[in-house]
Amino acid sequence: MRTYNRGEYVDSELEFCKNQSIVRQFRVTHTPKQNRVAEQVNKTLQERTRAMLIITGMSKSFWAEAVKTAYYVIKKSPTTIDLKTLMEM
C-alpha cells in the first residue's frame, strides 16, 4: 500500500495491513515523480493539450478547456486491452 506520510490512516487500519502482510510504502508529499503511472498520465495530457492548442491556433488562455477535452478523449478512446474504453473497463 502506497500512501503519503500525512497521517491519513489511523493505527488500527495499519494494524489490519500488518496482520494481512500488506507492506506499506511511504511517499513524499507533492512529489508525483515517485508515481510513474501518474507522471505518464500527466505527460500524455500535456502533450495532447499542447497539440490541440497548436493545431487550432488557440492561445494558452484556453489551456484548462484543452486539458478537459484531452482527458475526455483519452477516457473515451479504446485502449490496447480488449479494445475497451477506460469508461467500459
pLDDT digits (tens, 9 = 90+) for 41-53: 888 899 999 999 9
The mean per-residue pLDDT over the stretch 61-86 comes to: 82
Mean per-residue pLDDT over the chain, rounded: 78
Instruction: Kindly list the domain boundaries of the chain, sorted by start residue.
Output: 1-30, 32-89
Placement of cell 489490519 in the chain: 16
Residue 74: pLDDT band (50, 70, 90) is: confident
Q: Cα dist. 83→22, 45, 51, 77 in Å? A: 33, 20, 24, 9
pLDDT digits (tens, 9 = 90+) for 16-71: 777 888 777 777 666 666 667 777 888 889 999 999 999 999 999 999 999 999 99
Residue 4 has pLDDT above 70, yes or no: no
